[in-house]
Structure 1
Amino acid sequence: MKKAKTQLNQEQLDRVIQMAWEDRTTFDAIRIQFGLQSGEVIKLMRANLKPTSFRLWRKRTVGRNTKHLAKRNFVVGRFRCPSQRG
């Protein structure tokens, strides 16, 4: 049985893309806030970025320890910086 796709409005879509670009925001944080697994985030990024931008993003995230909570070697705090709105 397939899991129902999460429907995101434009504001949520923009936020997911912003979080995915951030180096210290984990895929786990995106999953907790939006219900998207890392593979779904990759598909979302592929569909919403220019091909060159997607390739740059994938090059940055592949093998990056900070994008995976289990691979981090530092204390995990909140998902947002204090100056961030919302």
Structure 2
Amino acid sequence: MKDVEEISKFSVEEIDRIIQMAWEDRTPFEAIEFQFGLKEKEVILFMRKYSKPSSFQMWRKRMTGRITKHVQKRVAVDPRFKCNLQRSISLNKISKR
């Protein structure tokens, strides 16, 4: 497991992106690990370091037991997210404008 000093190697943009991904409901911890090399416990340490105490507590409360934050626990036919309001796009149709 990485210690706090090793977690500090990220740029400001990477820190912002990791925090954003950690807060997103549909972004699993495995995606953060794949992109930044931080496992779930390391993300928790990261959030503790780079968040205000109240924000960290709110995040932990929100993430505890959240099924969508783990790929293995997800139950989905299609792993990609698509809004119901999004139109289907067919490559065979020509736009008529």
Report the TM range for the smaller structure's normalisation. Answer: 0.7 to 0.9
More helix by share: 1
Give me the TM-score of the superposition, normalised by structure 1. Answer: 0.81
**Shift of residue 59, structure 1, vs aligned partner:** 0.5
SS in 1 for 2:32: helix
User: Residue 80 of structure 2 corresponds to which residue in structure 1?
Assistant: 77
Q: Which runs of 5+ in 1 are unaligned?
A: 79-86
RMSD: 1.9
Q: Which runs of 5+ in 2 are unaligned?
A: 82-97
Q: 1:3 to 1:44 in 2, by over 3 A?
A: closer
For residue 27 of structure 2, the aligned residue among 7, 11, 25 is: 25
Q: Deviations over 1:7-30 (max 9, x none)?
A: 211110110000000000000000
* Equivalent pair of 2:29/2:40 in contact (CA under 8 Å): yes
2: distance between equivalents of 1:58 and 1:3? 20
User: Residue 81 of structure 1 corresponds to which residue in structure 2?
Assistant: none
Give me the TM-score of the superposition, normalised by structure 2. Answer: 0.72
1:37 and 2:39 aligned: yes
